[in-house]
Structure 1
Amino acid sequence: MLVDDKKNKNNTHLNKAKKNKKDEFYTQLVDIESELKYYEKHFKNKVVYCNCDDPRVSNFYKYFKDNFEKLGLKKLIVASYKSSQSLEKGFYFEYFGRVSGDFDYKNANFFDGDGDFRSQESIRLLEESDIIVTNPPFSLFRQYVEQLDKYNKKYLIIGNVNAITYKEIFKLIQNDKAWLGINLGRGVSGFIVPEHYELYGTETRIDENGNRIVSPNNCLWLTNLDIEKRHEDILLTKKYYGHESDFPSYDNYQGINVNKTKDIPMDYKGAMGVPITFLHKYNPEQFEIIKFRKGNDEKDLSVNGKCPYFRILIRNKRLL
């Protein structure tokens, strides 16, 4: 879910560290397996590019290598930024299945530059790929998604939940060009962090393999690969008429405030402001997204002078 006050210190520390290119945060295999099982149909005869991954430590590489034949992949490309493992140059590796053999540093292809996903060398690999799957730098998330959209790529990536409040990301969601994946918040169990990373907060641990795990509980999967969940209606059980006091009107917009997704009234035709976590259950066939956060005066939506946290204005299409 969105950042909990009790975890602000832990999450702030994680995000600051993410901005430091010397730090690496690795996605656990269990989280990759938990999410990717819902997308298997999309990968047949496709080229997958993991452009923020050192194959020596990346569980994305391990997942796609181990499931190469099962998924029917055409090719897997993994690329590492130069700072990983103190390399002088970035490099990439192309895997064609068992016949090509596993990664060895001797069969890596070296970039002339650092292997940054924004470099022309990395973009060349992006252009020849079909689906991008990785955990990109959180501090560069806007730029990363912007690039994927620019090159019209399919993708499945991990980001901070608050990234959906960025106007660039929200616009993609509103225009049905991106949506949330299956797992969110505690559904992403945590990241493997390096030895020099201080284990902050209560939700940190060292697993049976000695991996140091930090669980911020505020991450999501963002994708434009279709999944069944986004076509499932939210079950509505509440009613507006007869319970108007439960749904106060906004001061600066003609619409009502709804505090929880489960409380969206089934009988209200007008605009409703719902929490941003609504997007995890959003079905574009059931609801229309009107606007994010602002009222008619372009100030934050307010009720009796107070602004509820980040509201999305929606309308029930079934009632139009």
Structure 2
Amino acid sequence: MTNTNLSNAKKAKNDEFYTQWGDIEKEMNVYLEFNPDVFRDKTILLPCDDPEWSNFTKYFAHNFNNFGLKKLISTSYAHASEQIETKTKIKGKVFTLEAKDINKRSEIDIDDLEFEYLSDDGDFRSEEVKKLRDEADIIITNPPFSLFREFLAWIMESDKEFCIIGNMNAVTYKDVFPLIARNQMWLGVTRTGSGSMWFRVDGNFPVKTGQKWEEGKRYQTIGNSAWFTNIDHGRRHQPLNLMTRKDNLKFNNHKGKVTYPEYDNYDAIEVPYVDAIPSDYDGVMGVPIGFLGKYNPDQFEIVSFRKGKDGKDLVYSLSRVQPSRVQPYLRILIKHSDTGTH
């Protein structure tokens, strides 16, 4: 995407979702619980994060000493077009925080941030920001949703650790799902399916469902957003408690009866609910996309996504006497790991 397209997306304000401090803290705590030194002696880059607006910069600056950070770098993107001849409008900024107590308060905090203008607008694809990416150990941010695929590719080419927010639908992209299947990326912990994550938006943001006002500020919930990361966390290794196929057929209480039909175009069975995955079935199973929020790589292996052997979406017949075909929504094909716990 060109810089012009990025500017258009920014000016439309449809990509401006400001993450709340509590949601950042909730997610980062999970990595810290698993490894208290996960950020120690690390340089963290927060691209797309102006500390005037961004809670990411404020959060990591506040915890600079607690986390034992080596360096914090934050960059901002200049929203305006080049026709506006003001430096603050056309030049991005880079903010840095190191172990230097500039304000002489005996601790490192956000008031010790130093900044300078970039030579360009701060686009993450610029050579300036690429150099900062290459300097960093970990990249953390909430990038524009419309640029998620390109932003992820930008990270992956650098082979860095990362934790970013995106739309769950991104897992359906042909260049994203393989990263999950190969365990190069997985979901974090906080998801908004329950409406638990609200983003602050500008007052002129288009009116949509799932909005609220608090203390004069406007918030929007994005029901299918999630954290994507390659930083390990303990909840990723919690096994699913499963019933046998026989017990599921008898006791599973979902409205739609669990019957485990076989697909017409793949040697696998349809499992309509994550909690209906049978513990004693060793073949391939098609499960809902929500499985990724429960995916334990020690327990399961991801085989494929969505398509049957004929290259078409998975389908199954209701019965031999009622041959109408059903195409379930976005199934992930999995099997129990040979070394996992059934």
Please give the per-residue CA displacement for 1:122-175, whole angstroms capped at 9, x wherever unaligned. 000000000011001111111111111111010011001111111211111100
1:161 is aligned with what amino acid? M
Taking the aligned partners of 2:312 and 2:260, their CA distance within structure 1 comes to 20
**Structure 2 partner of 1:36:** 28
Q: Does 1:45 align with 2:41?
A: yes
Question: CA 1:310–1:240 in structure 2 vs 1: closer, same or farther (change >3 Å)?
Answer: farther
On the 8 A contact 1:257/1:273 being kept in 2, the answer is yes
**Structure 2 partner of 1:196:** 204
1:56 corresponds to which of 52, 56, 64: 52
1:156 corresponds to which of 151, 163, 166: 163
Query: Whose helix fraction is larger, Structure 1's or Structure 2's?
Result: 1
Taking the aligned partners of 1:100 and 1:154, their CA distance within structure 2 comes to 29
TM-score when normalising by structure 2: 0.83
- How big is the shift at 1:190? 1.1
Q: Does 1:90 align with 2:92?
A: yes
Taking the aligned partners of 1:207 and 1:125, their CA distance within structure 2 comes to 36
1:311 corresponds to which of 322, 325, 331: 331
1:126 corresponds to which of 126, 133, 153: 133
On the 8 A contact 1:18/1:25 being kept in 2, the answer is no
On the 8 A contact 1:92/1:111 being kept in 2, the answer is yes
Taking the aligned partners of 2:301 and 2:225, their CA distance within structure 1 comes to 25
Taking the aligned partners of 1:91 and 1:47, their CA distance within structure 2 comes to 18
1:145 corresponds to which of 136, 139, 152: 152
2:183 is aligned with what amino acid? D
2:56 is aligned with what amino acid? F
Deviates more, 1:286-295 or 1:22-31: 22-31
Q: Does 1:172 align with 2:164?
A: no
- How big is the shift at 1:198? 2.9
On the 8 A contact 1:285/1:317 being kept in 2, the answer is yes
1:94 is aligned with what amino acid? T
Structural mapping, 1:207-246, within 5 Å? 207-208=214-215, 210-240=216-246, 243=249, 246=259
1:307 is aligned with what amino acid? Q
Taking the aligned partners of 1:108 and 1:319, their CA distance within structure 2 comes to 51
2:273 is aligned with what amino acid? K
Root-mean-square deviation over aligned CA pairs: 2.5
Q: Does 1:292 align with 2:305?
A: yes
Taking the aligned partners of 1:147 and 1:273, their CA distance within structure 2 comes to 31
**Structure 1 partner of 2:263:** 250
Question: CA 1:18–1:259 in structure 2 vs 1: closer, same or farther (change >3 Å)?
Answer: farther
Structure 2 counterpart SS, 1:167: coil
On the 8 A contact 1:190/1:217 being kept in 2, the answer is no
Between structure 1 and structure 2, the one with the greater Rg is 2
**Structure 2 partner of 1:184:** 191
Gaps of 5+ in 1: 1-16
2:299 is aligned with what amino acid? Q
Question: CA 1:231–1:162 in structure 2 vs 1: closer, same or farther (change >3 Å)?
Answer: same
On the 8 A contact 1:32/1:60 being kept in 2, the answer is yes
Structure 1 counterpart SS, 2:245: coil
Taking the aligned partners of 2:102 and 2:144, their CA distance within structure 1 comes to 29
- How big is the shift at 1:243? 4.2
Taking the aligned partners of 1:319 and 1:75, their CA distance within structure 2 comes to 40
**Structure 2 partner of 1:11:** none
On the 8 A contact 2:90/2:120 being kept in 1, the answer is no
Gaps of 5+ in 2: 1-5, 81-86, 104-108, 251-257, 318-324
1:64 is aligned with what amino acid? F
1:158 is aligned with what amino acid? I
**Structure 1 partner of 2:72:** 76
- How big is the shift at 1:113? 1.1
